[in-house]
Each structure stands twice: as C-alpha cells, then as structure tokens.
Amino acid sequence: MDEKQSKQRILIIDDSPIQAEALKSILSPRYILNVAKNGEEGLKFARKYNIDIILLDLVLPGMSGFEVLYQLKESEETKNIPVIFITGSDSDQDEIKGLALGAVDYVRKPFVDAVVKLRVEIHLKLISQMKIIERFSLTDGLTGVNNRRSFDQATKSEWSRSMRSKGWLGMIILDIDNFKRFNDSYGHLNGDMCLKTVAYVIRKAVLRKTDYVFRLGGEEFAVLMPGTNFEGTVTVAEKIRKKIAAAPVRCENENAFVTVSIGAGAIIPSGQKNAESFEVFFAKLDKAMYRAKDKGRNRVEEM
C-alpha cells in the first residue's frame, strides 16, 4: 500500500491560522491533515474525504463548534467520525454539552504537544479497532463479500447521497440458478465452493472501488453501483452473467458450471412527496430477477 494511502487523515476545523499551524506542526508528518476555516467548510471536507478524526474549535465564525458537531452526528456519512473539541474555556458546562452531543474528548489551549499527540493517537487506535470489529460484522464469513447487514447500511447511505447529489444509483440482484439441484448433485461442501466462486467472479467483474458486492443470503447476491445509470448497470449485469456462466466451479473430481438470473436497473432517488422509495425500487429489481428465471434462467431482465 502507498504510504500516503496508509496514513490516517485528520480534519482540523479552526478559524485561527496560528492555531491551525500549531496543530499541523504537532501532528505532521505522521498524519494527512486537512484544514477548514469555518463550520460550513469543515462539513464539506468531512463528507468529501475519508476522515479518521476531527479536531474542532469550539468558537467559530457563523456556525459554532456545537452546531458543527450536531450536524456531523446527524449525517449518516459523518456520524461515526470521532470529534475532539479544541477550547480555551475552562467551563464544565461546555465540556458536558460537547460530550453529550457526541464529542470524544477535549484539548485545551495553549496546546501541550505531548497531550495533543497522545489524545489523538488513543482515539485513532480505538477507531481502528472498532473498524476491524465492524468489518468482520459486515462481512459474509463464507464468501468474503459484504453481508446483509452491510447491504442495509450501504443502501441507506448511498440512497441518501444520491438523493442529495441528484445522481444515479444502479443496482443488480442475482440468484444462482438451480442451486438446490447443484447441492444435491455435488454435496454441500461443493455448494460452498460454488458460492465462493460466484462471489469471486462478481468481485472481479465489478472494477470500481466505489461499488459494493453483497451476499444477501443463501444463493442470492447484489451489486450496488453509485453513479451508474440504467444502461451502465445493465452492461455490468450482462458482463457478470457471462463471466459466471464461463467460470468453472472446482469440485473434487470435475469442474461444474452454474448460471445466474439477474434483475438490473437504476434510479435517481428523489426526496419529493410520493417519490419512489428504496423498498419499491428493490421490489422491482426482485421481480425482474424472477422474470429472468421464468423466461428460462441465465439471463438479465431490466426492472
């Protein structure tokens, strides 16, 4: 991994250039640092970059540090980023309010280099450990792709993001054809190998880092593709279908082959009244997948 990619990223939200530079000198070059001069800019940075921790000044022009923290915790994209308040105040009430809103710690001015470093390091270690635990809880143990819990979280987040940006959200649902017959013929251990093979092929066919692959349960999988329109989603679905049909499942004494039935479609989510919900969108894709099965399997049906 590139050294820059492996470094954790800290966002400093502080309107004082002197204080921001002091923090940068304390924390660089160990971390990647972004600096925002006010709350609005800080919120944009928090949504744009993969931020590991935020150092937030309590007193800011316009939007206060408390207001920024509230908005961070209200957003699905930023609610899990730990926030350390920067303050020159000795007010217990301010500290209680900040902690109640979700701040993890306070750093007081003037800065003591060792204290800043240790507090940032402690919370970054904690968040790293939490991410490892969360990654295991969101991963399907057999295939290594995202599980149903991850699907529920990601679809909620990406639906909201696409709604705000008025962008496309593509999705594919697929089911392995005649999987019960495969298990009956080759046994459940080879059935597991079949699921692993299908998951591997899907992951290799979905090239963008922003796309998600899920095992929804049993022999059903899904692919979520933010920013992909209807035509692009159907193209990827057809690519996946062909690659799975051509991929051998290595059983003990022979290679077996399976096919999949796919429902594919895309939508620009809308927050308007009576707009189509994610549940309706998902149901249409599910129906399209079953149409593919009814029409002979090993095919893609558009929603």
Tens digit of each residue's pLDDT (9 = 90 or more) over 216-228: 999 999 999 999 9
CATH superfamily of 148-302: Reverse transcriptase/Diguanylate cyclase domain (3.30.70.270)
Rounded to whole angstroms, how far apart are CA atoms 125 and 107? 17
Phi-psi region of 227 (alpha: psi -120 to 50; beta: other; left: phi over 0): left
CA-based end-to-end distance of the chain: 39
> What pLDDT was estimated at residue 131?
78
Q: Which amino acid is at 251?
A: C
Domain ranges of the chain: 3-137, 148-302
> What pLDDT was estimated at residue 5?
53
Rounded to whole angstroms, how far apart are CA atoms 214 and 176? 14
Give me the sign of the Cα torsion angle 212, 218, 238, 267: negative
> What pLDDT was estimated at residue 2?
47
pLDDT of 197 above 90: yes
> What pLDDT was estimated at residue 135?
74
Question: Residue 269, preceding bond cis, omega within 30 degrees?
Answer: no
Q: In terms of pLDDT, which residue wins out, 191 or 274? A: 191
DSSP code string of 163-191 = HHHT--EEEEEEEETTHHHHHHHH-HHHH
pTM: 0.65
Rounded (10°) CA dihedral 138, 140, 141, 145: -100
> What pLDDT was estimated at residue 83?
96
Q: pLDDT by residue (tens digit) across 49-70?
A: 889 999 999 999 999 999 999 9
276 part of the active site: no
Q: CA Rg, the chain, in Å?
A: 24
Instruction: Give the residue among 243, 31, 184, 227 at the shortest CA–CA distance from 117.
Output: 31
**Pick the catalytic residue: 95, 158, 219, 302?**
219
The class (CATH top level) of 3-137 is alpha beta
pLDDT of 271 above 90: no
* Mean pLDDT for all residues in the chain: 92
